[in-house]
Structure 1
Amino acid sequence: MDKINLLIIVTIISLFISLFLVFFLLTVKTKYKTSNYLFAAFLLINAVDLSHPLFNLIADGPSNLGMFRTTFAFLQIPVFYLYVVSVCYSDFKLKPKYLLYLLPFLIANLILLPRFYTVDAASKISFIQNRQNRIELYISHILIHLQMIVYIIAVFRVLRKTKKLYLENYTGRNINSYNWLFQFSIALTILYTVALLKNILKFSDYPHISESIKIGLMVASLFMICWYLFKALNNPGLFRNINSKLKLVSEIVSERSDEQSMVDKREYNKELLKLQHYMAEKKPFLNSSLTIQDVSNDIEIPVRDLSLLINHQLGQHFYDFVNAYRIESAMDILKDTTKSKVTVLEILYEVGFNSKSSFNTAFKKHTGDTPTSYRKNL
């Protein structure tokens, strides 16, 4: 099978799966509709980009529509960035200011007006045949790669901040969602980096290598789409968002004056004893979806002060603070000889965890051992 036939087959399969996933995202019942719509838009834009081999089969030479199709690549990474922000923050809304993200796309098309969009067919053919010497295409490639770098950095900054906010304010298995999105962003970054190499070679003396890399990218994109499809079908409500108005503890601390810090120290022991008594007596950690807001409401300590107490004074994330109580409770059950027939899976649910992986990770972090080994060594 030659490269062209392989490329066509991979393109058709990728487009079919992409459109199927778009249909799923647009029809699945979820409260995260904006996130689904944004990822559906990302997949559609990606599908337009992937359609290049099929478009060439039916196109009769260079055309305005064909060139316009290629510039859709400028929309991929901004839409993905908006998707990441939407799944991280519960109060995310599309705003007119986001139209500014269209600027690189508009600039790329505007610079093509004089020597491509407004000329005859023969001039279009000449433009494509001499593309290695066209300043418009050089500018477009530089612009898209600069845009890619800026947005990828922005994506990882958002993920880093929101994961830290989650750890400081929430518990539960939803932290795995941020880990997964981080992994997906890493994979996407690798694909874009390889695409950058492909485009550099396209304007070099080795365009044939660029074509080989294109096939590899198509196959890799297919696997990524299948991976996301699997995740989406199994986890239609993939994320538990946080409020964008939440502040990191480090930001709160920097806002506090020296006088406030003295007051904090005087109140520290009183609030700590109140918190410890509450955790021991009421056992709120048995609630698998416990939040710092829940604890704040119960013990009547403002969320801001409680967050400082746990995340700053105790030097623990709220996530780890709660999990420590859960692990201690699990250890008590494992030590109880009358409960030797209770399985590890039953124990983890009983103490407030809702996934085996997060329980094992937290247990090993706290004890240095797995739950099964801990029970055997008693």
Structure 2
Amino acid sequence: MKEVYALPIIAIVSCVISLLLAFFLLSVKSNNRISNRLFATFLILSAIDLSGWFQYLFFSGLSNFGMAKSMFSFLQMPVLYFYVLSVCYSDFKLKAKHLLHAIPFVIANLVMIPRFYAVNTESKYALFENYNRIWEIIYIHISIELQFIIYITFIFVILNRYKKIYQQNFSDTSSKAFLWLFQFTLASAIIHSVVLVKNILKYTDRGKTFDSVQLLVSVLALIVICWYVFKALKYPELFNGVDSKTQLVTTSIDKKTVIRSEEINQLTSYMETEKPYLNPSLSIRNLAQELNMNSRDLSILINQRLNQHFFDFVNEYRIKEAMNILKNPNKKDVTILEILYEVGFNSKSSFNSAFKKHTGKTPTEYKKLA
């Protein structure tokens, strides 16, 4: 009985929080307008989906409205996919061709016309007397699961490519956007996996287990939605997209590209004398402009000839600078936190990871030995 009362209450709370966050994203002024609108749309669709757990409190019986509302589940993954694209790529724009992603939603509604939308209430109840054997419902469940698998695979492929491009073009040791999207996608995958188990149990005789799993899904949904709010409040300017036309160096190199040794000497000399790595937001485009080089040629120089990602290349100089400070007896009172900001890092975890990668020791251990 506890599940009966808890489920609608949790669902209502989740819906309210989702809609409030969606309203905030739609109303706030931001450079990430497209991303915010897509995320808000995803939250609204999630709220519509969650309302199925308490709609019986307001609408009784079977209706075309209730069925049409449930079909919006087909739009959640396409919107999530577009959201990921918009965060990863700063030049992403919604186009007419993206409407093709709504085809499964349209087909599902067409499937329900003959025996549900087009009949009276009595016929609807007659059809649903044996819910587990209605081929239209089985088709919808299978279609949603296949859609999820396809989109989640595409999203992880996009994230993998984005991470590689980011590493080759930016000096930050990590991208907050990548971490957020990876966590966001992983959370969605976990919840949907539990939903899949719930849907399978729906076709068995394990009624109590089904109720427990359904309650678990609602709790997980509430936790994840609260996490969305936390992220939105803590990181209002979270994203740093790359241009979608930017290619990976391994795919852009050609036979015409010739890297001369003097270019390597020019690069290393500039890094040692001018110390551009002290700028925490240094990108390969910025560095190329300072060197009067083509950013593509510089990327190939670092990634192919020096066999390093851009952020590894830059952080090597940052770590050397930090080592010099740690060994300097005149700066023994300078804290680790002060040092990491001074040499171009913007977080303690990034500095510690990079320092240990290059020296095999933590900054504190190195300072004691020095």
Distance 1:173 1:240 in 2: 13
Structure 1: segments with no counterpart, 5+ residues: none
Normalising by structure 1, what TM-score?
A: 0.95
Specify which of 250, 256, 263 is matched with residue 271 of structure 1: 263
- 2:355 is the counterpart of 1:363: yes
Quick one: which amino acid aligns to residue 67 of structure 2?
Answer: M
Aligned to 1:354: 346
CA contact (8 A) 1:333 1:339 kept: yes
- 2:184 is the counterpart of 1:184: yes
Alpha-carbon RMSD = 1.3
Of residues 193-202 and 214-223 in structure 1, the stretch that sits farther from structure 2 once superposed is: 193-202
Aligned to 1:72: 72
Distance 2:355 2:114 in 1: 65
Aligned to 2:30: 30
CA contact (8 A) 1:173 1:354 kept: no
Of residues 60-69 and 210-219 in structure 1, the stretch that sits farther from structure 2 once superposed is: 210-219
Q: How does 1:9-88 map to 2 (within 5 A)?
A: 9-88=9-88
Residues paired across the two proteins, number: 370
CA contact (8 A) 2:88 2:162 kept: yes
Query: Match of 1:246, SS?
Result: coil
Aligned to 2:309: 317
Cα distance, 1:175 vs structure 2:
1.1
Normalising by structure 2, what TM-score?
A: 0.97
CA contact (8 A) 1:62 1:125 kept: yes
Cα distance, 1:56 vs structure 2:
1.3
Of residues 88-97 and 310-319 in structure 1, the stretch that sits farther from structure 2 once superposed is: 310-319
* Residue 294 to residue 92, structure 1, CA distance change in 2 (3 Å): same
Quick one: which amino acid aligns to residue 355 of structure 1?
Answer: S
Distance 1:359 1:30 in 2: 30
Quick one: which amino acid aligns to residue 175 of structure 1?
Answer: S
Of residues 225-234 and 146-155 in structure 1, the stretch that sits farther from structure 2 once superposed is: 225-234
Aligned to 2:155: 155
CA contact (8 A) 1:49 1:72 kept: yes
Distance 2:358 2:145 in 1: 44
CA contact (8 A) 2:173 2:311 kept: no
Quick one: which amino acid aligns to residue 352 of structure 2?
Answer: N
CA contact (8 A) 2:249 2:303 kept: yes
Cα distance, 1:334 vs structure 2:
0.7
Cα distance, 1:84 vs structure 2:
0.4
Cα distance, 1:245 vs structure 2:
0.6
Aligned to 1:168: 168
Quick one: which amino acid aligns to residue 237 of structure 1?
Answer: E
Query: Match of 2:287, SS?
Result: helix
Aligned to 1:133: 133
Q: How does 1:91-106 map to 2 (within 5 A)?
A: 91-106=91-106
Distance 1:360 1:90 in 2: 30
Quick one: which amino acid aligns to residue 204 of structure 1?
Answer: T
CA contact (8 A) 1:174 1:240 kept: no
Cα distance, 1:173 vs structure 2:
6.0
Distance 2:312 2:207 in 1: 52
Quick one: which amino acid aligns to residue 331 of structure 1?
Answer: M
Query: Match of 2:282, SS?
Result: coil
Quick one: which amino acid aligns to residue 276 of structure 2?
Answer: P
Quick one: which amino acid aligns to residue 286 of structure 1?
Answer: L
Q: Residue deviations 1:241-277, cap 9 Å, x none? A: 1100100011113xx13xx36xx2xx33121111000
- 2:8 is the counterpart of 1:8: yes
